[in-house]
Structure 1
Amino acid sequence: MSSWDEFLKGKTAIITGASRGIGRATALALAEAGADIVITDILLESDDSNEQVAEKYGPIAQIMQSTNVIFSEKTTMEIREMGRKAMAIKMDVTDREQIKNVFAHVKEEFGKIDILVNNAGTLDHVSQITDQNDDFWQRDLNVNLTGTYNCTKAVWPYMKEQQYGKIINLSSVAGTLGGFGQASYSATKGGILSFTKSMALEGARHGINVNAIVPGVIESEAFRMGNPNMNERMIKRTAFRRPGQPEDIANAITFLVSDKAKYITGIGLNVSGGIELFTF
């Protein structure tokens, strides 16, 4: 057995928005590395209220719900087959009381919370400023930025008490480069980077590492449902001339939440295929 085998053994991780895409890939990767996993999402396969929930949160959620692209409980079954503990819980990152109750339940069931991956987010609001939908602007702030804040604040006392914790926040190259017609998404993802640095400063005195991942073009379910012409333009801007896979993000997260990265905090790690480079 190498030093990398099961290097998260004995750790408990919560991944928000993990019913598909990067969240699902991260849950599986952390489990493969030895961690017990708690998947949270607004959509669970067995939940009869999925249609109403999806309607509240917009087009992408509605498409995923209507096409059954929901793998929260399926993923927990796969993780249990690896010999890990796993649980799928319905949780809305904008509902502070619900988050508080879920985290308390996880602490009771698993004994501790070592890792939090703030992955839940929205990405379906594309409009120039004159056509911006004010309700979607507020939704994006509530889910992407305030949702990250809500979950971080809720997990903080547990990590502070044990003087140990790893928090990963999902940003985006839209937050570092901007995105045409993506004012709300870019603003929230840029804010996440600043929030990450502030939390890293606060967390250092309590043994809590806080870092951000900055994905580029990732071939998730949502990407495949996007405009093919726009997708091709983004791929051509990427140095590798291809989209990344959710597993590429999951692998970077797995490293950063491990003790292999114990002296790394406050960074925004580009996992972007070089889209931020001067590509021509």
Structure 2
Amino acid sequence: MQLVGKVALITGGSRGLGRADALALAAAGADVVITDILLESGQDSGVAQKYGPLAQFFQSSRVVYAEQTAEEIRQMGRRALALQMDVTDRQQVAEVFARVKSEMGSIDILVNNAATLDHVAQIEQQNDDFWERDLRVNLTGAYNCCKAVWPYMKEQKWGRIINMASVAGTMGGFGQSSYSTTKAGILGLTKSLALEGARHNITVNAIVPGVIATEAFQMTSPQMRERMIARTAFKRAGEPEDIASAVVFLASDGAKYITGIELYVAGGLNLFTF
């Protein structure tokens, strides 16, 4: 699963799954571009305010490692960039992708990882502004990035797009109407683009994570964490590296005949467990 000579761009890469994906892709040989709305240096507090309490918490508590991750990748002997990018801003996405193409030579792998997941309320209490935010970030943001990278991948006749879905998108989630809807939409986007991309040697796949021990998961109450873990067949949470291993596989030539799939990395949470 060597990726030497490939350039990967990851959205929402400053922590959690995005950071693990970046390090794993670099370990497999890829040069990596980490994008996020938050960077350690030069942070604009207005960006975090715009995207809600979780972004504000991560910024205030300095749970932001985009530039640190880029430096770790450079220490591996790979090229790396950490760039601020808002996936909802189409102009900014286009400018960042053009810069990456110019400076790095190509964009071969796109991992659409950026997402919001702090909107939890039953339908009567769903916040309309957060509903719209979740659609813009989780679904339209992935669309914006796919559309921006498509011409580059078509031109080089090679590409890998890996979209991050969720078991909430396949099973639903109590109090997660907006999040579940966006992640279900990701699956439709994945399959449609898989059909369009095949003639250009572009594969498009989705990973469906379950309960993964990220910083966001650790912020839930102990009781809720126990309930979620109990749903898995392994009776434990997965690690970000479990997702990252799947990302590396789908980006590699070992997966060159795989497209349009929903790859569960959920520890059996989607099975009938009791």
TM range (shorter): over 0.9
> What secondary structure, in the 3-state scheme, does the structure 1 residue paired with 2:107 have?
coil
Q: Does 1:201 align with 2:176?
A: no
**CA distance, structure 1, for counterparts of residue 222 and residue 59 of structure 2:** 22
> Which residue of structure 2 aligns with residue 215 of structure 1?
209
> What secondary structure, in the 3-state scheme, does the structure 1 residue paired with 2:273 have?
coil
**CA distance, structure 1, for counterparts of residue 156 and residue 250 of structure 2:** 19
Q: Is there any run of 5+ residues in structure 2 with no aligned partner, and where?
A: none
| CA drift at 1:48 | 3.4
> Which residue of structure 1 aligns with residue 118 of structure 2?
124
Q: Does 1:21 align with 2:16?
A: yes
**CA distance, structure 2, for counterparts of residue 54 and residue 225 of structure 1:** 18
> Which residue of structure 2 aligns with residue 35 of structure 1?
30
| CA drift at 1:229 | 1.3
> What secondary structure, in the 3-state scheme, does the structure 2 residue paired with 1:93 have?
coil
Q: Does 1:186 align with 2:180?
A: yes
**CA distance, structure 1, for counterparts of residue 20 and residue 47 of structure 2:** 23
| CA drift at 1:227 | 2.0
> Which residue of structure 1 aligns with residue 240 of structure 2?
246
Deviates more, 1:229-238 or 1:23-32: 229-238
**CA distance, structure 2, for counterparts of residue 109 and residue 128 of structure 1:** 46
> Which residue of structure 2 aligns with residue 134 of structure 1?
128
**CA distance, structure 2, for counterparts of residue 42 and residue 95 of structure 1:** 11
> What secondary structure, in the 3-state scheme, does the structure 2 residue paired with 1:205 have?
helix
> Which residue of structure 1 aligns with residue 63 of structure 2?
69
**CA distance, structure 2, for counterparts of residue 130 and residue 102 of structure 1:** 39
**CA distance, structure 1, for counterparts of residue 42 and residue 170 of structure 2:** 37
> What secondary structure, in the 3-state scheme, does the structure 1 residue paired with 2:200 have?
coil
**CA distance, structure 1, for counterparts of residue 122 and residue 225 of structure 2:** 18
Alignment of 1:1-280 (within 5 A): 4=1, 7-49=2-44, 51-280=45-274
> What secondary structure, in the 3-state scheme, does the structure 2 residue paired with 1:69 have?
coil
Deviates more, 1:53-62 or 1:35-44: 53-62
> What secondary structure, in the 3-state scheme, does the structure 1 residue paired with 2:32 have?
strand
> What secondary structure, in the 3-state scheme, does the structure 1 residue paired with 2:263 have?
strand
When normalised by structure 1's length, the TM-score is: 0.97
Question: Structure 1, residues 38-80: CA drift from partner, whole Å, max 9, x if none?
Answer: 000000000231x221111011101101110000000000000
Q: Give RMSD over aligned pairs.
A: 0.6
Q: Which amino acid aligns with 1:168?
A: I
Q: What number of residue pairs does the alignment pair up?
A: 274
**CA distance, structure 2, for counterparts of residue 143 and residue 18 of structure 1:** 14
> What secondary structure, in the 3-state scheme, does the structure 1 residue paired with 2:135 have?
helix
Question: Structure 1, residues 172-193: CA drift from partner, whole Å, max 9, x if none?
Answer: 0000000000000000000100
**CA distance, structure 2, for counterparts of residue 204 and residue 195 of structure 1:** 14
Q: Which amino acid aligns with 2:217?
A: F
Q: Which amino acid aligns with 2:136?
A: N
| CA drift at 1:112 | 0.7
When normalised by structure 2's length, the TM-score is: 0.99
Q: Which runs of 4+ in 1 moved over 6 A?
A: none
**CA distance, structure 2, for counterparts of residue 12 and residue 144 of structure 1:** 23
**CA distance, structure 1, for counterparts of residue 220 and residue 80 of structure 2:** 31
**CA distance, structure 2, for counterparts of residue 55 and residue 111 of structure 1:** 34
**CA distance, structure 2, for counterparts of residue 227 and residue 166 of structure 1:** 36
| CA drift at 1:24 | 0.2
